[in-house]
Structure 1
Amino acid sequence: MREYSPDLTPPWKKQAAVPEVPADRDLVVEEASTGFCGAVIGCEAGTVTLEDRFGKHRVFPLEPSGFLLEGRVVTLVRPTGNAPARPTRTASGSVAVPGARARVARAGRIYVEGRHDAELVERVWGDDLRIEGVVVEYLEGVDDLPAIVGEFGPAADARLGVLVDHLVPGSKESRIAAAVTDEHTLVVGHPYIDIWEAVKPSSVGIRAWPRVPRGQDWKTGVCRALGWPENTGAAWQHILGRVHTFRDLEPELLGRVEELIDFVTAPPSSPSGA
């Protein structure tokens, strides 16, 4: 039987010692107290400057245990010596563009169902999205999707892409998606009940995602079946922390996100006869 601390802190959140990590340029971290997530763009004596995916800069002190790296608490320290070589590929597998700056956000958008979906997309496609100027927003469900699309007002130069969970024939989600007929909107989806399932079990360290009885909250049921504390927020941070590249995700999600990015960034079609 697993042992947990009195406050039910999951085993994956415990660390014998907080590691020190050099604040190398382009390292993506989250500031623990504010939740601000960004890439390191500068490090002076005692401070580090982060840039988020919208190009916003914030300066934070290099305090002990002040940051999260892939879900784990770390202490950032000023780098010494030569900085490591930049990666040649982004987490999505695209060719990295050294020194590229975030593009001004397009009018088009990609909508996903929830915060976890948005965080997973950012984890793998964040570099690509910044270069393309694509903003991802989450909706907290798609029950009102036709009205949401109408309110957005898609156009040839402001396309809307929507990623839907559990988009399978006969599902409620499939009926909602079919009601969206706007030519400048693309609705695609993956077959998983929740975005958690789009992460390969082997990446999370489990044999398979458990089956949860109908009528039971799926995330809570997963935690219960795996013997994790029923803290879905902590469970998600554990899962997200195991995602490093596109190889950690199922193909059914990979293809759909790439399709949405291509759709939103495609140039407007020329008028017929032009």
Structure 2
Amino acid sequence: MQLPAERGTVVEDVETGWCGAVVRVEKAGGVHVVHLEDRHGRTRGFRLGPGFLVDGAPVTLTPPRAAADARLAQARAASARTASGSRAVAGQRARVASGSRIFVEGRHDAELVEKVWGDDLRVEGVVVEMLDGVDDLAGAVRAFAPGPGRRMGVLVDHLVPGTKEWRVVEQARAVRPHAAHVLVVGHPYVDVWQSVKPQRLGLETWPVVPRGTPWKVGIAAHLGWPHESQQDLAAAWRRILGAVDGYADLEPELLGRVEELIDFVTAPGS
């Protein structure tokens, strides 16, 4: 059984029969040493680890948990950041969901936003919802019916002038009477996969996928991953998402747009 060598714990050294209470644990020459004080006030040091008894039962002494936990907590408090780079708020409970929402095109977008900005959004009480595409974005705006205290932020993939997505967004931005309470932004990437820095996957740049080949299929094939089924592509996305630890792993074109949406839906009065 493992037992933290907390101050005051009484143990017996099996080899010498020395019995005493733990007074301190220190590290000397790369080795943890526990100092035991017997009933006469004499102190002796022993190497931390196996070879001790407590009430006749063998135990392995480990570094004191309280001290280790205190050091860890102190270090975390000094440097804790969320994946988005924001200062983590210790002990902050998630707020009740606000009326405002952020909408994204699909599951992969939602999972990426959750991984990087999830802690921030929970503190703000902002929910991320999936649209399952933006072909009828104007209809989604009417259905949500944004207004005072109920803002709608939308993140769109491949929002480039002249594209189908651009025309759909222009129509959605003009929906009355909701337009003043809607913000639609987008990144230039064909798919949200591409917003992950390619270096995180061992690539210099994302490869160019031949015309006629679905983009995700082409990427998985280039990386040498299975790509024949939706299950294969889902597994490929999990590998890509797993390479993301925080905001520094994403391209600024996505970072800026998501931060813009968060500011919009959390502005005073929204």
Query: Under a length normalisation based on structure 1, what TM-score does the superposition of the two structures give?
Result: 0.67
- Mapped partners of 1:136, 1:205: distance in 2: 30
Contact in 2 for aligned 1:166/1:190 (Cα 8 Å) = yes
- Mapped partners of 2:140, 2:211: distance in 1: 28
Deviation at 1:207, TM superposition (A): 2.1
- Mapped partners of 2:210, 2:130: distance in 1: 27
Contact in 2 for aligned 1:114/1:141 (Cα 8 Å) = yes
- Mapped partners of 2:253, 2:148: distance in 1: 27
- Mapped partners of 2:220, 2:244: distance in 1: 18
Of 187, 200, 205, the match for 1:203: 200
Aligned to 1:185: 182
- Mapped partners of 1:265, 1:101: distance in 2: 17
Aligned to 1:55: none
What are the residue-to-residue correspondences of 1:229-244 with 2, within 5 Å?
229-230=226-227, 231-244=232-245
- Mapped partners of 1:177, 1:195: distance in 2: 17
Deviation at 1:178, TM superposition (A): 0.5
Identical amino acids, percent of aligned pairs: 63
Deviation at 1:209, TM superposition (A): 1.1
Deviation at 1:149, TM superposition (A): 0.5
- Mapped partners of 2:260, 2:158: distance in 1: 17
What are the residue-to-residue correspondences of 1:54-93 with 2, within 5 Å?
81=65, 82-83=68-69, 84-85=72-73, 86=76, 87-93=79-85
Are 1:261 and 2:258 an aligned pair? no
1:183-238 superposed Cα distances (whole Å, 9 cap, x missing partner): 10000000000000000011122222111122321101111122211111111111
Aligned to 1:171: 163
Deviation at 1:135, TM superposition (A): 0.3
List gaps (5 residues or longer) in structure 2: 1-63
Aligned to 2:130: 138
- Structure number with bigger Rg: 2
Aligned to 1:48: none
- Mapped partners of 1:185, 1:143: distance in 2: 17
1:1-29 superposed Cα distances (whole Å, 9 cap, x missing partner): xxxxxxxxxxxxxxxxxxxxxxxxxxxxx
Contact in 2 for aligned 1:210/1:226 (Cα 8 Å) = no
Question: Could you say what secondary structure the match of 1:188 adopts?
Answer: strand
Of 83, 98, 101, the match for 1:109: 101
Tell me which protein shows more helix as a share of its residues: 2
1:54-85 superposed Cα distances (whole Å, 9 cap, x missing partner): xxxxxxxxxxxxxxxxxxxxxxxxxx934433
List gaps (5 residues or longer) in structure 1: 1-79, 270-274
Number of aligned positions between the proteins: 190
